[in-house]
Amino acid sequence: MKKTRLFSYSVLASAIATSFIPLSAAHAQESADKQIETIQITATRRSGSIQETPLNISAMTSDVMDQQGISDLDDMARWVPGLTITDQGGREGSPIIVRGLNTNSSGPDNDAGTVATYFGEIPLFVNVRLADVQRVEVLIGPQGTLYGAGTLGGAIRYIPREVDLDLTTAEVSVDAFKMNESDSVGSESSFVINAPLIAGQLGIRASLNYYNDPGYIDYNYLVKEPGVSVADPDWSDADDVAANIKTKKDANGEDTLTGRIALRWTPTDWLDGTLTYFYQKQKVEGRSITHYNALSSENPLSEIIGKYESAYRYAEPNDKEDSLLSLELKADLGFAELVSATGFAQSDEEGQRDQTDLLIRLDYSYEEFPAFSAYTKEVSSEDNFTQEIRLVSKGESDLSWIVGAYYNKQKSDGSSKEFTPEFDVYAVEVWETGGNYRPDELEYYSVDKSTVKEMALFGELSYQVTDKLSVTAGLRAYKYEVKAESAVDTPLYYTSIGYEDDFGVMIYREDADAIELDFEDASADDSGNLFKLNASYQFTDSVMAYATVSEGFRIGGANGVAACPSDTSSLAGQTVCALPEEQLFDADKTTNYELGFKSTWLRNKLHFNAALFNVDWDDAQVQGATTFGQQPITINAGGANSKGVEISTRAILSDELTMYATYAYTKAELTSDAPYMLGILTEDDIEALGLTAARAAEIQASYDGADGDRLPGSPEHQFSFGLTYSTEVFNDHLLDINYGITSQSDMYSTVGLKGNGEVIPGYSLSNISARISGDAWSASLYVDNLFDKYAYTSVRRDKGDIGEATFSEMNSNASEMLRNYGHYLLKPRTVGVKFKYLFEI
């Protein structure tokens, strides 16, 4: 019998479907007849193994995540068939896409919103650092009859480690790494302590994690003094450049602090309660975007910019603070388990970004000011109250059931301030507008507030028809309401430039600090029902097939753009407003059809699972723009469809060697035309650009979605393969050597490559690591992106910005100056060492 070790055998083969089991049992099993470990999951609200559960579900445990260097959901997604997360660095909300259900451009902040993420039992939409997390479960397909938060495409659950009421332990881990292209060493450190306060009844667990990513993108073209320094000096004149430009190395770094404290109390054998406070604070320096090969050929900067350089004129920091206070109660009522989950989450975010290009592109002659540049400061806050309660039947009856109720209230406030340093002086003194100075330099100001309430009753009824056949029916009844108010102002325009009244007299605001916000209200509500039908058949003890039809749902809402006046003919200047049909957007819905197969072979040495799926998507919520001001909004497209296959297998090849592999094929496309999906060409645009009717129609067609257009943001083919070699070394220590490769085919940046979309080439990533472990410690050496692959993960804007696309008339003003268009990058090769130690007190 081998000695029990804290860091026991674990392999990539069990990465997607493995849980922590008693280590002595694991080694006894390994010695006798090594088998694939059995994971117990709770995604179906009951404990059971993945191979026994008739759903498409994946899971990854903390030990395997540690071995593979998986620290967040972006890393994990490469190993889950059917799940795509486009890594856009710490600053952006990386889109989470299930089975290709996405219609938005694969650029910043375009999360398709098709997935519900849970921290424990509470919905929490945060990319959580995977510190002190027991496992992550990913359910592919709508889950609205199992979960309170409506899920259009799937659900992701972060399961934190439970408070142990019997053992006092402490765990320390330290990680140091060096990335190519970075001038500094990064690090991650964590500390976890678990302590019973009253043995068997009361205990506490606390964890703290600090992550420092030094960054690898250089911002070498920042303006020294806004409104004074020239953003585009003579790049061939070193003195001119030095007088106007400053640099910032590794300007996309990140510092994230994550903490959790949990107090668990079991006063009786039928009641178990846990009070948890979770906190995460993230400070990101800038976007992980390069402008290499992304500037106009007429821009001299295009000849000197490097592969890991961004050409933004301003640093783009972003600070985000998230917290969650939750109370989870479980009560054994005998006939059923009662679970109550109450949560209050808060999120505050503040960021700055370069806004120069937007104003130049508007063709209001801003670029005539030699030192023109602009930046935006954005502030947002959100409060979320959630209450979910459910009953789960117990016992050995052939009939089992789940019933639950859900309530969520979300209040959000946001504002955006756009500044144009010294432009008021230029307008008054050079243009001689006759206006007044605007010392605060505030060019644009928008405010929006919203309250969303969602309520649902949900449940499932299952019946074991025979020893082999089981059927489940689920139902969800939902209701939601949205109330929003918003307002915009362009203070500098009305103060320094002015406008004509009905008598041709120029009007200016006298008060240099005046801001006028005329709030407009908008509201939406809806209710309805969703269903689920599932049947499974157990052909043998190790072979099972299932069929599922399920519906998913995502609520509608308000766009938060001020309403246009009834007489739009009077609109002039920098008007930003929404027409009646642009103020609100409707709910969208999916219907998922799936056939699945799960099998275990060779005395539990080989698992092979597969699923065929077809998803119909109705009234898909997509990104659009207002007619006046081209403000981004959400609109509804007619429909889309996704179909494909997902396969996963894992096997023990020998006593030392194990493997894991996945493959997914997804074909996702529109099933009806979607006019104006990517933009709208107004009569004013046509007149200003001097377009013929034929050319205008051609341009508009390039911005319209059409039946059969491929959806963006996810590859058609995904593949992963991993091997782990395990052996004993140095007097009964365990050595694990892991190699993994993940690959994906190309992606589209926009629907059907419309609106100057582009193909983002596919790529493969290789990771390798070696870990040696003893009874209470482990030490690892790892290399991520082993071959230092240089690849794009997504794109921001398009080539029309730089006047080098088929259809660039819409945004080609001063294209030789624009720098918005760029690409998000994979992290370069990263070499690191990690050490972990567990104390038992």
> CA-CA distance, 538 to 54, in Å (whole number)?
10
pLDDT for 731-774, tens place per residue?
Answer: 889 999 999 999 999 999 988 998 889 999 999 999 999 999 99
The secondary structure of 783-834 as a DSSP string is EESTT----EEEEES-GGGGT-SSS-GGG-TTGGG----EEEE----EEEEE
pLDDT for 460-511, tens place per residue?
Answer: 999 999 999 999 999 999 999 988 888 889 999 999 999 888 788 899 999 9
pLDDT for 609-652, tens place per residue?
Answer: 999 999 999 988 877 677 776 677 777 877 899 999 999 999 99
pLDDT at 111: 40
Query: What is the identity of the amino acid at 120?
Result: G
> CA-CA distance, 375 to 286, in Å (whole number)?
13
The mean pLDDT of the chain is 87
> CA-CA distance, 158 to 137, in Å (whole number)?
7
Nearest residue to 459 via CA among 118, 143, 43: 143
Compute the C-alpha angle 554/564/431, nearest 5°. Answer: 125
pLDDT band at 67 (very low <50, low <70, confident <90, very high): low
Higher per-residue confidence, 678 vs 334: 334
Q: Which residue has the tokens 């949560």?
A: 343
| Other Cβ atoms within 10 Å of 209 Cβ, number | 21
Lowest mean pLDDT among 45-54, 365-374, 393-402: 45-54
pLDDT at 86: 77
pLDDT band at 576 (very low <50, low <70, confident <90, very high): low
Q: Using only the alpha carbons of the chain, give its radius of gyration.
A: 28
Nearest residue to 106 via CA among 549, 662, 750: 750
pLDDT at 163: 96
pLDDT for 178-226, tens place per residue?
Answer: 999 999 999 999 999 999 999 999 999 999 999 999 999 999 999 999 9
Nearest residue to 189 via CA among 208, 205, 206, 214: 208
pLDDT at 256: 95
Lowest mean pLDDT among 92-96, 332-336, 752-756, 786-790: 92-96
Nearest residue to 103 via CA among 411, 527, 554: 554
> CA-CA distance, 209 to 177, in Å (whole number)?
16
Predicted structure pTM score: 0.89
Nearest residue to 167 via CA among 253, 88, 76, 264: 264
pLDDT for 776-822, tens place per residue?
Answer: 999 999 999 999 999 999 998 888 888 888 877 766 688 889 999 99
Higher per-residue confidence, 24 vs 230: 230
Q: How far are the Cα atoms of 401, 657, 794 from residue 822, in angstroms, in the given order?
A: 51, 43, 9
Distance in angstroms between the alpha carbons of the first and the last residue of the chain = 26
pLDDT for 423-469, tens place per residue?
Answer: 999 999 999 999 999 999 999 998 989 999 999 999 999 999 999 99
Phi, psi dihedrals of residue 97, rounded to the nearest 5° = -125, 125
Nearest residue to 661 via CA among 86, 21, 133, 17: 17
Three-state SS at 13: helix
Q: How far are the Cα atoms of 400, 496, 507 from residue 439, in angstroms, in the given order?
A: 69, 10, 19
Categorise residue 752: left if φ over 0, alpha if ψ from -120 to 50, beta otherwise: left
**Residue 106 pLDDT exceeds 80:** no
pLDDT at 6: 37
